[in-house]
Structure 1
Amino acid sequence: MTISKGDRIPTTTFTTMTENGPEPVASDALFNGKTVAIFSVPGAFTPTCSAKHLPGFIEKAEALKAKGVDEIACTAVNDVFVMGAWGKSAGADGKVTMLADGNGDFAQAMGLTMDGSKFGLGTRGQRFSMIVKDGVVEELNVEQPGDFKVSSAEHMLEQL
């Protein structure tokens, strides 16, 4: 079942790269008591994700925070080392928290997976963005396959 507006975020664990190496991040700790702008990309270092999606949230980080967002996070079904390297190369440090969903547990729990096997990617998370307040989905923007419109930072700013 696909998550909807008004639903609680499922309990899962992400991994993030820190100065001390990979560290687990419980979804409850990430979302509870905060307003979080989170977006999912099909893959780190992929064309649209690297040219538009992540850079848009980095560029609009201050504007999002000025509208009440406590944390901005990017997730993908990639390992923590890839997500850490991608965030570093894109200049995400201090602006966007890079969350590895290495086994796709979060994407599956959300009901937002896609089959990227035609491109050699296997099962991945769909491209989407959400505004989550205190663990509850307030806005959910799921892209149609191949599109990049409603999950952008610009669209999210209009929703806040």
Structure 2
Amino acid sequence: MLVRELMTADVETVQESEDVSTVLQKLAERHFTGFPVVDDDGRLVGVVTQRDMVELFQPEHRTVWIPIGLPPFLESLEYGFELSWDDLEASLDLASSAGKPVKRIMTEDVLTVEPDDSVDDILEILAHDDRDVNRVPVVEDGDLVGIVTRQDVLRALHAERSGE
């Protein structure tokens, strides 16, 4: 089976210059977990996902480790205190990040396939533990021509195995 048999050709994308707030709204409205990001010429330049948004609006390190020693201070113990991220901090961070172009937070190193690649090429990408990819853009001569999701592959494999 070839990629072109599975791909969705009508791909919803976002422009690299769109504001983070606009892309966040599109994610919510369409119930997608991510979008391919294209430049003004329609060429794939990245992917933006819900995970990118979470990382933007949530600090990575919220735990402070404080060494506390007991007399005679020969040994110290480290206690971790999770800092609260109050509403004011969250609102300020959201306001400062909302106007950024999505280009600043997107993943640029995108794994792609071509229309004449096999389903095995997509499976190799989807099964890669380190990347946790849910969608694979399909490109031809650098242009985005389709997309294949994890669900597309699962449906195709199920149909093939059940004889549908």
**Both proteins in one fold, TM over 0.5:** no
Of Structure 1 and Structure 2, the greater strand share is in 1
Of Structure 1 and Structure 2, the greater helix share is in 2
TM-score if structure 2 supplies the norm length?
0.24
Greater C-alpha radius of gyration: 2
